[in-house]
Amino acid sequence: MMCIRPIQSHDWDALWALAQKTGPGFTSLQPNEAAVRRKLEWALASFAATEPLEEALYLFVLDDSSNDQIVGLCGIESAVGLREPWYNYRLGTLVHASRELRVYNPMNTLTLSNDHTGSSEICTLFLDPDYRHSKNGSLLSKSRFMFMAEYPQRFTKNVIAEMRGCSNDAGVSPFWEGLGRHFFSIDFAQADQLSGQNKVFIAELMPRNPIYTNLLPKDARDVIGCTHDDTTPARRLLEREGFRYTGYIDIFDGGPLLETRVQDIRAVRESRYCKVALAERVGSGNPYLIANTRLEGFRCCLSTLIIEGNHIVTLTAETASVLGVDAGDTVRIVALA
């Protein structure tokens, strides 16, 4: 059975193995050993803190209990941009007009922005290619909303998600080649790795004035706000949960930033508490996300169940064992949708 749980110190080898598979453009988990170790230590400290950290990272792994293998990773940052600047491009419009000349030209622009400073961010979603089936991706992504629903005080009202932008198999980003390279004079993959470690160089080198998109090459314009093929399913999943693209993009690959309010996320809004009852079988039916109510011992899985009235949910002994709950305990449930 597949189960989501907080990352632990003994997961280092599995975390490092996943970092080798992410590829160019996956900024939050690059194969840089020092950076990955910092991420692990940050996550461990965030879960262990007696009081919520101002900038916490809650990192979760997808554990295949049939072979005790870690096959996926996902995370939530409580607030971004409080210690280091958080940058995006904001898409806007400037109108150049002359009544005398009968000219009216609206121009699309990109302006460097820190508008999402302080927002919570869902991040670092990666699933081993061999496990991209059987709704594993949905469990990996949506389990975070069950945690946010249980611990809303640890997050801000607004939540964002940066989607990986377009790049080819060689790791070349059309948006970067058409814009970023002119100011940084380095390859996209190198800039992407640097941004995951230190964003100060962005402020030092990026232009502060609006950039007219019609001056960019066509292939760069065409990928503004577009997602990488591998990331498109994740974007659709988030949009079904209530996330929306509002005209902000990544400054390196042009990928879209999605956003919503935590309380407007479907899984948060519709989830509810139930008491556990046990049975040998629960039959078939629509799958539900089921999570316990612990912090460091958080568990979330995907299973069918039986709902009796409004407050009793019947689980199999296997599901209850994976969640670490027993008859009479409280769990949070929501339909997968």
159 beta partners: 120, 260
* 287 membership: H or E segment, kind and range: none
Burial state string for 8-38 with b = 16 or more CB within 10 A and e = fewer than 16: eeebeebbeebbeebbbbbbbbbbeeebbee
Strands (E), 167-284: 211-212, 244-249, 256-261, 272-279
Pick the catalytic residue from 96, 182, 228, 311. 228
Other CB atoms within 10 Å distance of the CB of residue 310: 8
List of residues 6+ apart from 69 with CB closer than 8 A: 14, 63
202: which 2 tokens?
A: 């962005």
What values do phi and psi take at 124, rounded to 5? 55, 45
What values do phi and psi take at 157, rounded to 5? -70, -30
Residue bearing tokens 């992410």:
22
57: which 2 tokens?
A: 């990272």
- What is the rounded end-to-end Cα distance, in angstroms, of the chain? 20
228 is catalytic: yes
List of residues 6+ apart from 118 with CB closer than 8 A: 79, 80, 81, 82, 156
DSSP string, 106-153: EEEEEEEE-TTTT-EEEEEEEE-GGG--TTHHHHHHHHHHHHHHH-GG
Cβ-contact 327, 33 below 8 angstroms: no
Other CB atoms within 10 Å distance of the CB of residue 308: 12
Q: What positions carry a catalytic annotation? A: 228
